[in-house]
Chains A and B, each alone.
Chain A
Amino acid sequence: MAQLFTADVENRGLVLDPRTKLAVMITLVVFALGSAGSDITAVRIATVVLSFMPIVLLMTAKQFGKSAVYGALYILVKLSDMLLVPQLTGLAHSVLGICSLIFVRVMPGLIMGAYMLSSTTVSEFISAMHRMHIPQQITIPMSVMFRFFPTVLEEFAAINMAMKMRDIRLGGRNAGKLLEYRLIPLMVCSVNIGSELSAAALTRGLGTKVRRTNICRIGFRLQDIIVLMMILSVYVLLILGRAGVVR
């Protein structure tokens, strides 16, 4: 369940450079969410193809289950947007129309986000940020934060288990206090672990003035070039469309 920055290094499939993933993300935001060039047919078609890229990427990272669920969901939303909504009239038309419009635009970005977080390791992240000349003052706190999420989720699972044993659940006698009962132990445990984690990181020299090095080898490989070419082609189509070459 803990999926953030916890890429399973033993079984991760095709590895992309974090910067490639970022480029895909930006492109999805520009075309799928921002619907740039939606007046050009070629770009519109390319955007639909591009929207399936995160689903394919999840598959290459061997996350087949997630990929299937997201894929099915996206196709469903897209189909309803294309086929169902034009058939409807009145209130149903506007409500469903707005919903599917939002989902069609937002989902590719969300799926890409899920892929990015679940397929990148902390050291790859630090390394990529370093190559992009993002200062350490930003990278280090962010990486600590990402490291902390899976741990909090683990704690949350343990607390849920304890609540089950005590039969504290929705519909039980103490339903009104469910949130309080969950939050107090979660906060106490998170604070403890967070402080132990930072203490351990400090004793290993995190945050020295010395310029940090990184043994994690990231770089553009064949798969990165293929993905980047695909992204680039969408931008090229946009420019050609604006120039009036394609429609």
Chain B
Amino acid sequence: MSGAAAVLKNVSFRYKNGDAGALTGLDLTISEGECVLLCGSSGCGKTTVTRLLNGLIPHYYEGELAGDVTVFGRSVADTAIEDLAGTVGSVFQNPRSQFFCVDTTAEIAFGCENMGLPEEEIRERISGTVADMKIEKLLDRSIFNLSGGEKQKIACAGVSAMQPPLIVLDEPTSNLDLDAIDELRRIIRHWREQGKTIVIAEHRLGWLNGICDRVLFMENGCVSRDLTGAEFFAEPTVSLNTAGLRSVAEKRNYLESDTGVTAIKPFENAASIELRNFTYSYGRHTALDIPELEIPAGSVCAVVGHNGAGKSTFVKCLCGLQKGFKGSVTSGGKACSPRDMRRISYMVMQDVNHQLFAESVLEEVMLGMGNEDTDTALEMLRKLGIAEYKDRHAMSLSGGQKQRTAIASALLAGKKLLIFDEPTSGLDFHSMELTAQLLSSLGSECTVLIVTHDMELIERCCTHIIHIENGSVSI
């Protein structure tokens, strides 16, 4: 158990088209059987380290690499990615883009098939993995009918079946609710008991308490602090936050609150948006059944619920985007049809790329304005701190700037109800705090709904919780 699983010697890397180096002279030895957490603010190089270990750098993502990376004695630079597959298993952030097959069993088998293992052995490995991870009921299912958490479990099972000695995970919990994270923790603990070496790059830290042997805090492409798990998780929240890290202390779990609307901060309830008859079903399955609900106008509400509870159906209905939905909304004493709802509401999607169309930021935000008034638009851009990018193409901005562009275009179009889908997934502490400030400042002029699993964000900016389970708000 004392051998080195991975050795990085004086490694520097700069992405092609990148201005600064992603890694600068990194020295790191990971021992066999260790469970290592890589943390640090966005752009510190932690994802780059995982990509060096599984060979995606230098074989897939191009750039200038200096120094040596060896994994179990094999030089990564001289080994093709696909030949490292049996040695290094990878779990990625986005469940949408890491599946190759459409049914779960084939997906778990996929890696083993590529390694050319005999059919009998693959079947044995699948049944072994499935029993270990207790996911028997996920076999022979269609990928498209799984929740995010279930998909991530299948991804882990696919890696597990290949039996690699080293497993790297790159922000595996970005799209998961707290229960799904608990299950992932169980899987990682199990891998650890099997003696596997595990490397996790993560923003959300609390769930890793008690699992990690070693925590590497990265800054500007270097490891700035190398702590044991116990030392790291004893650090006070304040010092973590100043370093750009999320807190490790367990947050209040808003999923434990009652279903329905609950105020969590003092709030003067002037008027409200009344929803009536919010029912929707796919075929025979009832996805949503809310006869009546009142959202306080001007509030910032978190929409919480487990993966698959009906949160996204709910907000789609609210935006008037769900075809065949018949419910009604009364806002300020005026009844709105789904069509009117489309006029007053706007959803900032999780992948903001879907909603940026125009050639420049200024053109983008003026697209939906009633009367095209450049001064008003520029004023709004200044308010949101993106005025200096007004002539850039929106697609060339960073994630946070894109989000602000989308918000600006919604506000200028006179939208009164803003809905955010997971606005802070994959954000470090500073970006999350900025987003939280922005969201609460929006509260005065419009009503804000945030679909999120991020308890820190809720604590910081939300006035109310709307808890949905099984498509319903009453127990």
Instruction: Give Cα distance in the complex from A177 to B359, angstroms.
Output: 11
Given A5-B102, A10-B140, A210-B116, A193-B97 contact (CB < 8 Å): yes
Give chain B residues whose Cβ lies under 8 Å from the Cβ of A174: 367
Is the CB–CB distance between A215 and B395 below 8 Å? Answer: no
Nearest B residue to A2 by beta-carbon distance?
Answer: B144
Is the CB–CB distance between B85 and A204 below 8 Å? Answer: yes
Q: Is B82 an interface residue, CB under 8 A from the partner?
A: yes
Is the CB–CB distance between B122 and A158 below 8 Å? Answer: no
Is the CB–CB distance between B321 and A181 below 8 Å? Answer: no
Instruction: Give Cα distance in the complex from A162 to B346, angstroms.
Output: 9
Q: How many chain B residues touch the partner (CB < 8 A)?
A: 70
Given A121-B102, A196-B98, A168-B123 contact (CB < 8 Å): no
Q: Is A123 an interface residue, CB under 8 A from the partner?
A: yes
Question: In the complex, how many residue pairs between chain A and chain B have their CB atoms under 8 Å apart?
Answer: 181
Give chain A residues whose Cβ lies under 8 Å from the Cβ of B316: 161
Is the CB–CB distance between A165 and B342 below 8 Å? Answer: yes
CB distance from B390 to the nearest CB of A (A): 18
Is the CB–CB distance between A181 and B343 below 8 Å? Answer: no
Q: Is A206 an interface residue, CB under 8 A from the partner?
A: yes
- Binary CB contact string for chain A from 43 to 54 against chain B (1 if under 8 A, 0 otherwise): 000000000000
Is the CB–CB distance between B144 and A6 below 8 Å? Answer: yes
- Binary CB contact string for chain B from 114 to 133 against chain A (1 if under 8 A, 0 otherwise): 11111100110010000000
Is the CB–CB distance between B92 and A200 below 8 Å? Answer: yes
Is the CB–CB distance between A202 and B353 below 8 Å? Answer: no
Is the CB–CB distance between A151 and B97 below 8 Å? Answer: yes
Is the CB–CB distance between A205 and B85 below 8 Å? Answer: yes
Give chain A residues whose Cβ lies under 8 Å from the Cβ of B98: 196-197, 200
CB distance from B109 to the nearest CB of A (A): 5
Is the CB–CB distance between A189 and B142 below 8 Å? Answer: no
Pick from A9, A151, A155, A185: contact of B142, CB under 8 Å: A9
CB distance from B74 to the nearest CB of A (A): 14
Given A10-B145, A208-B83, A196-B94 contact (CB < 8 Å): yes
Is the CB–CB distance between B82 and A185 below 8 Å? Answer: no
Q: Is A216 an interface residue, CB under 8 A from the partner?
A: yes
Instruction: Give Cα distance in the complex from A59 to B458, angstroms.
Output: 49
Q: Is A122 an interface residue, CB under 8 A from the partner?
A: yes
Is the CB–CB distance between A200 and B100 below 8 Å? Answer: yes
Q: Is A221 an interface residue, CB under 8 A from the partner?
A: no
Interface of A, secondary structure class, is helix
Is the CB–CB distance between B145 and A167 below 8 Å? Answer: no
- Binary CB contact string for chain A from 115 to 134 against chain B (1 if under 8 A, 0 otherwise): 00000011100000000000
Q: Give residues of chain B (322-353) contacting chain A, Cβ–Cβ below 8 Å.
A: 342-343, 345-347, 349, 351, 353
CB distance from B325 to the nearest CB of A (A): 13
Given A166-B355, A204-B85, A9-B102 contact (CB < 8 Å): yes
CB distance from A173 to the nearest CB of B (A): 9
Q: Is B113 an interface residue, CB under 8 A from the partner?
A: yes
Is the CB–CB distance between A121 and B103 below 8 Å? Answer: yes
Give chain A residues whose Cβ lies under 8 Å from the Cβ of B357: 163, 166, 168, 177, 180-182, 184-185
- Binary CB contact string for chain B from 77 to 113 against chain A (1 if under 8 A, 0 otherwise): 0001111111011101010111111110110011111
Given A9-B140, A203-B90, A213-B358 contact (CB < 8 Å): no
Given A161-B321, A200-B100, A9-B141 contact (CB < 8 Å): yes
Q: Is B158 an interface residue, CB under 8 A from the partner?
A: yes
Instruction: Give Cα distance in the complex from A207 to B115, angstroms.
Output: 9
Is the CB–CB distance between A181 and B358 below 8 Å? Answer: yes
Give chain B residues whose Cβ lies under 8 Å from the Cβ of A208: 80, 82-83, 85, 114-116
Give chain A residues whose Cβ lies under 8 Å from the Cβ of B321: 161, 164-165
Is the CB–CB distance between A185 and B113 below 8 Å? Answer: no
Is the CB–CB distance between A158 and B54 below 8 Å? Answer: no
Give chain A residues whose Cβ lies under 8 Å from the Cβ of B240: none
Is the CB–CB distance between A162 and B349 below 8 Å? Answer: yes
- Binary CB contact string for chain B from 353 to 373 against chain A (1 if under 8 A, 0 otherwise): 111111000000001100000
- Which one of B94, B106, B367 has the greatest number of beta carbons of chain A within 10 Å? B106
Q: Give residues of chain B (364-385) contacting chain A, Cβ–Cβ below 8 Å.
A: 367-368
Give chain A residues whose Cβ lies under 8 Å from the Cβ of B282: none
Q: Is A170 an interface residue, CB under 8 A from the partner?
A: no
Pick from B82, B343, B409: contact of A202, CB under 8 Å: B82
- Binary CB contact string for chain A from 1 to 37 against chain B (1 if under 8 A, 0 otherwise): 0100111111000000000000000000000000000
Instruction: Give Cα distance in the complex from A182 to B106, angstroms.
Output: 34
Is the CB–CB distance between B106 and A212 below 8 Å? Answer: no
Given A121-B102, A200-B100, A210-B116, A215-B123 contact (CB < 8 Å): yes
Pick the 3 closest A-B CB pairs, nearest first. Answer: A205-B85, A205-B114, A162-B355
Which residues of chain A have a CB within 8 Å of any CB of chain B?
Answer: 2, 5-10, 121-123, 147, 151, 154-155, 158-159, 161-168, 174, 177, 180-182, 184-185, 188-189, 192-193, 196-208, 210-216
A sample of 6 inter-chain contacts (CB < 8 A) reads A166-B357, A167-B413, A182-B357, A189-B354, A202-B81, A206-B100
